[in-house]
C-alpha cells in the first residue's frame, strides 16, 4: 500500500515554500468591482462547501491544497452500488487503478458480492448516508442515524469506512458532530466531473495544466451513470497521460500534506 511504504518518493522532503504573502498595500478602489466578480466566479466553481470552513472537514479547498508535488489523483464514485458498478470494477482492474466508492447504505445489501469484490481489489469504501438525503435539512439525531445505519450495513461485510461524503456536499455543524461520533471525517472533492449533467467528461480536465504541473485532485464521479462508466477507460488513459498517480481517498490524504496554507 502506498500509504504504508515509508521509502516511497512521495515521502521525500517537500521543496521550500514558494508561497506569495498576502499584499500589504490596500487594493486600489478601481479594482474592487473586478475582484468582486472574480470572487463570485471562484465561489461558483466550488459550490460544495456550505458553511464556514472547519479544519476537521476536507472540503474542496483543503483537498485542492494537497497532492501538488506528486500529481496525486483520487477517483471517487458516489451513489452506488448499482447495476453498473461491476462494469466499472472491471475497468479499474484492467487499468490497474483503485478508486474510492461512497456508497448509499440502503443499497449495500442489494449488492453484497460487488461490495466484497470492490474491497478485495483494493478499492476504498466511504459512507454516503443511508437514504441519500440532504443532511442539512435533517435533525441532528436523524443525521446520526443516516450515518450509523450505513456503517452498520458495511460492518456486516467487515468494512469500516473512514470518510463521510454528505450527499450534494451539504452539511452543517450537526453533521460534523455526527461524523466525529462515528470516528469519521467529512471529505468532499476538488474536481467535479458534473457527470450527472451528461456532458463531455473530458471538459473537466484543465487542458492548460497538461505538461506543466500535471493534473491532480479528488475527482467526483457517479458509478450509477452508464455514460460515466463507458467513458472511464479513455478518461483514465488521459489522466495517465497527464501524469496522474492514482490513489485511494485515504492515500491521497495520508501521503500529501497541505500546501502553502497562509
Picking from 107, 187, 182, the residue whose alpha carbon sits closest to that of residue 151 is 182
Q: Residue 253 in contact with residue 187, Cβ under 8 Å?
A: yes
- 146 binds Zn ion, rule: CB under 5 A: no
Q: Residue 239 in contact with residue 215, Cβ under 8 Å?
A: yes
Which of 67, 166 has the CB closer to Zn ion?
Answer: 166
CB atoms within 10 A of CB 182: 16
Number of residues lying near Zn ion (CB under 5 A) = 3
- 78 binds Zn ion, rule: CB under 5 A: yes
Q: Residue 182 in contact with residue 154, Cβ under 8 Å?
A: no
Binding segment toward Zn ion, per CB under 5 A, in 75-83, 88-96, 137-145, 248-256: 75-83
Phi, psi of 163 (to 5 degrees): -120, 145
- 195 binds Zn ion, rule: CB under 5 A: no
Looking at residues 2 to 31 of the shown chain, list those that interact with Zn ion (rule: CB under 5 A): none
Residue 166 Cβ vs Zn ion, minimum distance, rounded to whole Å: 9
The set of catalytic residues is 78, 222
CA-CA distance, 228 to 165, in Å (whole number)?
Answer: 19
Binding mask 154-193 for Zn ion (x = CB under 5 A): -------------x--------------------------
Which of 59, 255 has the CB closer to Zn ion?
Answer: 59
Binding segment toward Zn ion, per CB under 5 A, in 63-71, 74-82, 170-178, 197-205: 74-82
User: In what helix (H) or strand (E) does residue 45 lie, and over which residues does it extend?
Assistant: helix 32-45
Q: Which residues bind Zn ion (CB under 5 A)?
A: 78-79, 167
Amino acid at each position: 500500500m502506498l500509504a504504508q511504504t515509508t521509502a516511497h518518493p512521495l515521502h521525500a522532503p517537500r521543496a521550500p515554500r514558494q508561497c506569495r504573502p498576502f499584499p500589504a498595500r490596500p487594493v486600489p478602489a478601481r479594482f474592487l468591482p473586478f475582484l468582486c466578480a472574480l470572487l463570485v466566479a471562484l465561489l461558483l466553481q466550488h459550490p460544495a462547501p456550505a458553511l464556514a470552513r472547519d479544519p476537521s472537514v476536507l472540503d474542496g479547498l483543503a483537498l485542492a491544497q494537497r497532492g501538488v508535488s506528486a500529481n496525486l489523483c483520487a477517483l471517487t464514485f458516489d451513489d452506488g452500488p448499482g447495476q453498473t458498478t461491476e462494469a466499472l470494477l472491471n475497468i479499474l482492474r484492467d487499468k490497474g487503478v483503485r478508486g474510492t466508492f461512497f456508497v448509499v447504505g440502503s443499497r449495500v445489501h442489494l449488492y453484497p458480492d460487488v461490495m466484497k469484490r470492490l474491497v478485495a481489489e483494493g478499492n476504498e469504501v466511504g459512507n454516503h448516508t443511508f437514504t441519500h438525503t440532504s443532511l442539512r435539512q435533517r435533525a441532528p439525531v436523524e443525521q446520526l442515524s443516516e450515518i450509523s445505519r450505513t456503517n452498520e450495513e458495511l460492518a456486516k461485510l467487515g468494512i469500516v469506512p473512514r470518510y463521510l461524503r454528505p450527499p450534494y456536499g451539504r452539511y452543517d455543524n450537526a453533521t460534523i458532530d455526527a461524523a466525529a461520533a462515528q470516528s469519521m471525517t467529512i471529505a468532499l472533492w476538488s474536481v467535479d466531473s458534473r457527470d450527472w449533467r451528461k456532458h463531455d467528461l473530458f471538459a473537466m480536465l484543465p487542458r492548460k495544466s497538461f505538461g506543466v504541473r500535471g493534473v491532480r485532485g479528488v475527482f467526483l464521479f457517479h458509478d450509477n451513470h452508464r455514460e460515466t462508466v463507458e467513458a472511464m477507460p479513455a478518461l483514465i488513459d488521459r489522466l495517465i497521460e497527464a501524469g496522474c498517480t492514482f490513489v485511494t481517498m485515504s492515500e491521497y490524504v495520508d501521503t500529501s500534506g497541505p500546501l502553502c496554507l497562509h
